[in-house]
Each structure stands twice: as structure tokens, then as C-alpha cells.
Amino acid sequence: MSIPDPPRTTLGNGESARSSESLDRPSRESPAGLESVVLYLLIAYSFSILLSLIVGLTGGYRSKLIGLGYLSMFLPAIAVLIVSTITGERVSDRISRGSSFTYWLFALFFMPLVMHAAMLPWALHLEGEIPWQSWLSRAADGFYHAPDSRGWGMLTTPGLAAHVAINAIVGAAIVSVMAFFEEIGWRAWLLPRVVPRFGARGAVIATSVIWALWHVPYALSGVQHLEGISRVKAAAVLPIGIFASGLIIGWLWLKTESLIVVSLAHGCLNSWGQLAFKYMDLHRTSDGLSLILVGSTALLVAGSLLLAFNVVRRTALTVSNF
């Protein structure tokens, strides 16, 4: 995958013109490539609005064209390619730096664990119990009888555990591949370009705001649908969690500069962030909106703490390498 490089300034010895200590402060110099950033945002948001209109005007989440919603994750990469073609920016073929095993584990589990740690106790508070789907209790014959829609048939306890694990792993892998194309636009392309103007922390926050607002048309149109929650409420609530997860993914990008790692984090969030709730009878949950808010708040706290106390100190050359 080729990604346009932003303009950058280096000293004669190849060192960045800005020291690692100054990375978190905005540059006094005029940031290069501002026109490219504006062009990218215009294209990305236009795609979001256009796709949302197509789905929204043909029935929303009940539309026969709802499958087009999967295209949303590819649109940021397409926007980058269009900007590259128009501006003639040089293209980089680097998609990953070497990252420690710790960051791979972080990408896999951090956000899903944060969400479950907050949302499961809240679900228990709302219901007095965890509202598992009825088939997750063994029948009189000692087996679990999965719904026909799952196609799992009758299962023993080890068989159930294996099916849940395989389903989770395959789902996360597929979504991470799709998230790769979305992360090309938001973290690999946009984030390094706004670091000179806002500093590292400010760039992560700004990119997260932009990313969250980009999802609003999808919520209003039904592309992103929350069962039992109106489109307007979804459009008001979903950006909170998206902004919060953007803080964490942006922090992870600054730490690793690995498109693969941040794509994995994004994919595992989408696939595993509410993994337990995929096996619950959500219609029994009296306040699904508050569950989402609780999970989003937990991510917001976690992301804020990471940015406040553990911002990466790398050279501007390294951060701006895409």
C-alpha cells in the first residue's frame, strides 16, 4: 500500500529540524501541506455524505443497499489516493515499523477490555443479572442448542467455547483488514500532517474530533444502526465513543508508527468492543443508550490518561514519515 509522504524539513545530518522535546508543541513555522489536508477532508466528508444519502434515502438500515456501508471503511484510503493524484505528493511504500510485542497486545485487548470492564457491571446494575441469550443455558439433553441463524447446531461446552473463539478471531481479522484502509486516511496520512500545527497531543485530539464527526452522517442515515435507539440519538452518542477511541488509536500511532498495529486496534475495537453483548438479549436491557455512554466514557478516560501522562517523545521527522 502506498501512502503520500508529507513535506518535511531535515537538518544537514538527517536529524529532524524539531527536537523530540518540542514535538508536543505546535511549530512556529507555517505548516506545509495545509492545502492537501483541506482537500483530503473535503473529499472524505463528501464521500461520507454521499454514501449516507444513498443508504438513507433508500430505507436507512432496512435499505437493500445497506451493504454499501462496508465501503465506508475504504473511503479514507480512496481520498488519500485522489489527493496524491491531484497534488503529486511523493508516495511512501512503508506501512509498518517494528513494534514491541507489548503494543501488539495493547492493540488486541486494551479497548475491548476497557469497554467490558465498564459496561458489564452497568448491565448487571440495570438488569440485576447479565441478560445472556436463552440458548446459552444447557438444555435438558446437556447440549447448547445454537439458533439456526448461527449454524452451529448442538454444542458441548468445549464446542461452544471453540465456536465463540473462532468466530471472534475471524471477525477481528476481517474487520482489521477493512480498518487498514480507514487508518490509511486518519492516522497514517492526516495525523502526522497536523502535528506541526497542533503538537502531538493536539494533533491526536484534532484528528479524533474530525474522525468522530465524519461518522455522523452514517449514524443519521442508518448506515451505523443501533437497535432500539433513534438515528438522532445515535448521531449524538456514537461520536463520543469514536472520539475516545481515536485518542487511544492516535496515541498508539505515535508510539508505534505502525499502520498494521493501529488497524488491528481499530478492528479489535469494532469486533470485540461489545463481544459479550453479542450473546446477550439486548431487548431485555432497559437502557441500551446508557450502556453505550458508559463504554464510551471509559474509553474517554483511558485515552485522556494516555495522552496526559504517556505521550511519545519522538522526532518530528519520524512522526511525519507518512
pLDDT confidence of residue 9:
34
pLDDT per residue over 182-196, tens digit each?
Answer: 999 999 999 999 999
What whole-number percentage of the chain has pLDDT above 70? Answer: 82
Query: DSSP states of 278-295 as a string?
Result: GGB-GGG-TTHHHHHHHH
* Coil, strand or helix at 226: coil
Q: How confident is the model at residue 125 (pLDDT cuts 50, 70, 90)?
A: confident
Decide if pLDDT at 104 tops 70.
Answer: yes
Decide if pLDDT at 316 tops 60.
Answer: no
- Sign of CA pseudo-dihedral 168, 187, 238, 114: positive
- Number of other CB atoms surrounding residue 290 within 10 Å: 16
Query: In this structure, what DSSP letter does residue 57 have?
Result: T
What whole-number percentage of the chain has pLDDT above 90? Answer: 71
Joined together, the cell numbers standing for residue 79 give 481520498
pLDDT confidence of residue 321:
42
Segment 127-155 shows an average pLDDT of: 92
Higher pLDDT, 247 or 101: 247
pLDDT confidence of residue 26:
60
Query: In this structure, what DSSP letter does residue 7 have?
Result: P
How far apart are the C-alpha atoms of 299 and 106, rounded to whole Å?
14
Nearest residue to 24 via CA among 250, 212, 210: 250
How far apart are the C-alpha atoms of 154 and 132, rounded to whole Å?
18
pLDDT confidence of residue 134:
92
Q: How confident is the model at residue 94 (pLDDT cuts 50, 70, 90)?
A: low
Q: Who's near 196: CB < 8 A, 6+ residues apart?
A: 26, 27, 29, 31, 32, 316, 320
Decide if pLDDT at 247 tops 80.
Answer: yes
Q: How confident is the model at residue 131 (pLDDT cuts 50, 70, 90)?
A: confident
Q: How confident is the model at residue 8 (pLDDT cuts 50, 70, 90)?
A: very low
How far apart are the C-alpha atoms of 235 and 222, rounded to whole Å?
10
Count each helix (H run) and each strand (E run) in the chain, helices first: 10, 4
Domain borders along the chain are 3-319
CB of 75 within 8 A of CB of 240?
A: no
Decide if pLDDT at 225 tops 80.
Answer: yes
Q: What values do phi and psi take at 52, rounded to 5? A: -65, -40
Cβ-count burial 1-14 (b if 16+ within 10 Å, e if not): eebbbbebeeeeee
pLDDT per residue over 45-78, tens digit each?
Answer: 999 999 999 999 999 999 999 999 999 999 999 9
Q: How confident is the model at residue 227 (pLDDT cuts 50, 70, 90)?
A: confident
pLDDT confidence of residue 98:
66
How far apart are the C-alpha atoms of 124 and 91, rounded to whole Å?
50
Decide if pLDDT at 88 tops 90.
Answer: no
Segment 192-212 shows an average pLDDT of: 95
pLDDT confidence of residue 317:
35
pLDDT confidence of residue 100:
86
Higher pLDDT, 101 or 91: 101
- Sign of CA pseudo-dihedral 91, 106, 225, 176: positive
Segment 95-122 shows an average pLDDT of: 90
Q: How confident is the model at residue 111 (pLDDT cuts 50, 70, 90)?
A: very high
Decide if pLDDT at 318 tops 70.
Answer: no
Higher pLDDT, 320 or 81: 81
Higher pLDDT, 5 or 71: 71
Residues forming a β-bridge with 91: 4
Decide if pLDDT at 80 tops 80.
Answer: yes
